[in-house]
Structure 1
Amino acid sequence: MQDPLPETPSRLVSGTPAFRRLNLALFAAGFSTFAILYCVQPLLPEFSQEFHVSAAVSSLSLSLSTGLLAVAMLVAGSLSEVWGRKPVMVASLFASAFLTLLSAAAPNWTSLLLARMAIGITLSGLPAVAMAYVSEEVDPKSIGLAMGLFIGGNAVGGMAGRIISGVLTDLGSWRVAIGLIGAVGLASALAAWRSLPASAHFHPRPARPRQLLRSFGEHLRDPGLRALFAEAFLLMGGFVTIYNYLGYRLTEPPYSLSQSAIGAIFSAYLIGTLSSAWIGELAGRLGRRRVLWAMIAIMIAGVMLTLFHHLALILAGIVAVTFGFFGAHSIASSWVGNRALGAKAQASALYLFCYYLGSSAIGTLGGVFWTHGGWPGVAALVTVLLIAALVLSLRLMVLAPRESKLPPGQ
């Protein structure tokens, strides 16, 4: 008599203790990852003052992190195929938290930049792997809730990191602010290690670089995906540039705002978080082609509002830019998965690569425009980027949908 085959473990379903542990761990992980990544953004003027560097050089504390994150994510996802999802995610969280604590004690500008570069590499293990982990371990009916909480943690963490760093810099120093963010990151890493259920449906695979490169090449040959990758670069580059140099403008007369007040402006992210869900649903009803261009147009209108000198109009412009960006990003990122015929994880990795590359490259370039042209120079750069994105969105409207040549179910 043959031994019975081992039962396949059931996937996690909402309402169960294991699902609650997963949500706690993923929310904490997303929160700390994006708090660590973006906590330096409102501190750029502080870095310029303490280390005697220009705005463009100061922005490297963020741009180097996001640039290396972009590249490292292409590798981290592949490593998780060999080493497993949870080990890569937990190692990413612990390493990033320790490096953040070290960066708070950086004795000079060079050591701070080196720490931020290392943080960009170590952070890549979470966003590149979490989506694969959820898709493998969670029941299809509960995936939407799990991913929604993870993305919510990302958005809240990015916002909280900026606000906390601004407030604590006023109360103490930027070192205290970054040290606290590192401590929060360490607590989140412990929560993920203890609460994140071990993978039950993961099967290790041998590393096959040639097959991975072939998948990337197939995605890059599609004009629609190329346009969406370019949208990620342009939209994120423009969005980060606005927020990078807003602090410089508002700390100067006639505004002379405190770091706490500037940090509070990042609460506009809450509007963006709401818009991503609402606009994503709207695009599902009306069609992505009809909604994407409208979101980019809203961003352009927001940039125009920031050219006025009245603070209320500037803030209204920031809200419009944030609303339009999150709406456009939700449409473009979901469109990538829909348009890719296979190897969807690699297609998403390419989108995120361009997304963070735009943050890094354009975010630093904006410092040159700020130095030589002030806020009108920054606004001009971002407007050119958004006009290019608008042209691409119109191009996407006329591209025919891709038809799969694979058999059904492949």
Structure 2
Amino acid sequence: MIEDKTRAWWRATMALCLGSFLVFINLYVPQPLLPELKAIYGVSTLGVSLLMSVATLSLALALLVFGPLSDAIGREGIMRITLLLAGGLSLALAFAPNFEGLLLLRLIQGFVLGGLPAVAIAWMGDAFEKPALLSAVGLYIGANSLGGISGRIVGGAAAEIGGPQAAFIAVGVMTLIGCALFWRLLPNSHTFMPKRFQLRRALTDLVGHLRTPVLLAAYCLGGINFLIFINQYSYITFRLAAAPYQLAATGLGLIFLTYLGGTFGSTVSGRLAQRFSPAMCMMAGVVILMVGTAVTLNDSLALIIVGLTINAFGFFLTHSLASSWVGRYAQGARGSASALYLVFYYVGASLGGFWLEPFWQGAGWSGITWGSWILLSITLMIALGMRRFERCDNAV
């Protein structure tokens, strides 16, 4: 087992962080382009948002395949091959003939992007000692946010120069270069014990996880929070592209620098959880997300940015701890347990537009805020229930 902060730990953690970074630059590159793509293809707000929704939905479905499959055949090969395919598909997106073709390629890309997230945390659970796992997960989630930031900034900047086509080409090239480095850095796990793949066993494992309340709570917490968080960013691009802000693609891309608040939140999550408790920190994260949403109601662009930064800190603090909560409490089949968390997570993201669109049409950004608070109140209650379980567990 790999010990915390050793040379082997740093090499493995760097590899997985790089892989996570590459996944998320590909997943989120279209987000700052949504207003421009809406105008180019003449589709509705909800229609162009499908470029994000179909990718996150197919990614979620892929997790159901790659998670159980990794328990049978190993995890390293899945991560390496799917990253390579993701880079190639980004290049293909640049040459999509129409909006329908763009949607189809995003659907396929979302599926292959699911390879690394489905198994990375399970790989850590196999290879790392428990203290090393908490530290590594925090950095890994931090790389998620850095990838999301970079995809949007690179996409926005490239689109300003050469349109959306240039954005997809830039990210595709970055991915292929990064993939070569990932292949070299990632070590093979020497503690992995393969299990022969059996469909019935895989389904039994998934059902078992869903019947475990302590895991189901984490699944719902992560999914609902992400439904709100990621779709707020989609709708804020429409708000800031319109008067009085009228930000272009580069400016919209820079808005996602607020994700740095999430990078900080995820990297300190392990230390905060050791001092206070994971469930208490998750409760605090939800409250912080609600407060940040309130700040975005202000018309000042500076305060909107502050509010989004607060949101990112609160969300990623909670997400990091919910992810590691699954690794801690899953009894066997860690690959499918971690994958199921991410299924809820990305299904939530894909459904967010359908939940928030009526609020947007009815009351603009204030409607988005109310729609957000309704669901965040539910996740706060879920985190409270997790805290009660934690107290009982510690008392045993």
> What TM-score do you get using the length of structure 2 for normalisation?
0.90
The answer to whether the Cα contact below 8 Å between 1:238 and 1:382 also exists between their aligned partners in 2 is yes
CA contact (8 A) 2:141 2:320 kept: no
Query: Kindly tell me: are residues 139 and 237 of structure 1, through their superposed partners in 2, closer, same or farther at Cα, counting changes over 3 Å?
Result: closer
How many aligned positions are there? 394
Pairing partner for 1:168 from 152, 158, 175: 158
Query: Which stretches in structure 1 are left out of the alignment for 5+ residues?
Result: 1-9, 405-410
Amino acid in the other structure paired with 2:292: G
The 3 A distance-change label for structure 1 pair 12 and 47 is same
Q: CA deviation at 1:51?
A: 0.6
Structure 1 residues 316 and 33, CA gap change in structure 2 (3 angstroms)? same
- Tell me the distance in 1 between the aligned counterparts of 2:313 and 2:146: 15
- Residue 29 (structure 2) aligned to one of 18, 39, 43: 39
1:236 maps to which of 199, 221, 226? 226
Q: In the alignment, does 2:78 pair up with 1:80?
A: no
Give the SS at the match of 1:63. Answer: helix
> After the TM superposition, which residues 217-236 of structure 1 pair with which residues of structure 2 at under 5 Å, given as runs?
217-236=207-226
Cα 1:160–1:388, aligned 2, differ >3 Å: closer, same or farther? same
Q: Which moves more between the two structures, 172-181 or 372-381?
A: 372-381
Q: Deviations over 1:71-120 (max 9, x none)?
A: 11121022223333222111101111111110111111000000000011
**Partner residue in 2 for 1:112:** 102
Answer yes or no: is the 8 Å Cα contact 2:224–2:376 preserved in 1.
yes
Change (3 A) 1:148 1:177: same
**Preserved contact between residue 282 and residue 318 of structure 2 (Cα < 8 Å):** yes
- Specify the SS of the correspondent of 1:197: coil
Deviations, residues 244-272 of structure 1 (Å, cap 9, x unaligned)? 11110001111112221221121111111
What residue number does 2:202 align with? 212
TM-score (structure 1 length as normaliser): 0.87
Residue 103 (structure 1) aligns with: 93
Distance 1:19 1:291, change over 3 A: closer
Change (3 A) 1:324 1:199: closer
| Local SS of the residue matching 2:97 | coil
Q: Could you tell me which residue of structure 2 aligns to residue 185 of structure 1?
A: 175
- Quickly say closer, same or farther: Cα 1:14–1:226, change in 2 above 3 A: closer
Q: Is the 8 A contact 1:280 1:327 kept in 2?
A: no
Report the AA paired with residue 347 of structure 2: L
Shift of 1:329: 1.4
2:335 alignment partner in structure 1 = 345
Pair 1:345–1:271, CA change in 2 (3 A): same
Distance 1:25 1:364 in 2: 36
Cα pair 2:117 2:339 within 8 Å, conserved: no
Corresponding position of 2:321: 331
CA shift, 1:386, in A, is 0.8
Q: Does 2:383 correspond to 1:383?
A: no
Q: Mean alpha-carbon deviation: is it higher for 258-267 or for 239-248?
A: 258-267
218-227 or 56-65, which deviates more:
218-227
Note if 1:127 corresponds to 2:117: yes
Quickly say closer, same or farther: Cα 1:20–1:226, change in 2 above 3 A: closer
Alignment partners' CA distance in 2, 1:210 and 1:246: 44
Residues 147 and 305 of structure 1: is their aligned pair in 2 closer, same or farther, counting only changes over 3 Å?
Answer: closer
Instruction: From the superposition, tell whether residues 296 and 141 of structure 1 become closer, same or farther in structure 2 (CA, over 3 Å).
Output: closer
Q: CA deviation at 1:11?
A: 6.0
Aligned to 1:286: 276
Take 1:61 and 1:395, find their aligned partners in 2: how far apart are those partners? 35
Q: Distance in 1 between matches of 2:270 and 2:248?
A: 35
Secondary structure of the corresponding residue to residue 59 of structure 1? helix
Matched, 1:366 2:356: yes
- Matched residues in 2 for 1:133 and 1:340: separation? 14
Between 380-389 and 195-204, report the one with greater CA deviation.
Answer: 195-204
Query: What secondary structure does 2:115 align onto?
Result: coil
2:44 corresponds to which letter in structure 1?
S
More helix by share: 2
Deviation at 1:158, TM superposition (A): 1.4
**Partner Cα distance (1:261, 1:134) in 2:** 37
C-alpha spacing 1:402/1:188, structure 2 compared with 1 (3 Å)? farther
Larger Rg: 1
Unmatched 5+ stretches in structure 2: none
C-alpha contact (below 8 Å) 2:20/2:143 kept by paired residues: yes
* Distance in 2 separating the partners of 1:284 and 1:156: 24
Output the amino acid matched with 2:309: V
CA contact (8 A) 2:76 2:188 kept: yes
Q: Partner amino acid for 1:172?
A: G
Q: Percent identity between the aligned chains?
A: 37
Deviates more, 1:280-289 or 1:192-201: 192-201
**Rounded Cα–Cα distance in structure 2 between residues aligned with 1:133 and 1:400:** 25
Q: Helix, strand or coil: the match of 1:126?
A: helix
Alignment of 1:22-37 (within 5 A): 22-37=12-27
Whole-Å separation in 1 of the counterparts to 2:390 and 2:10: 42
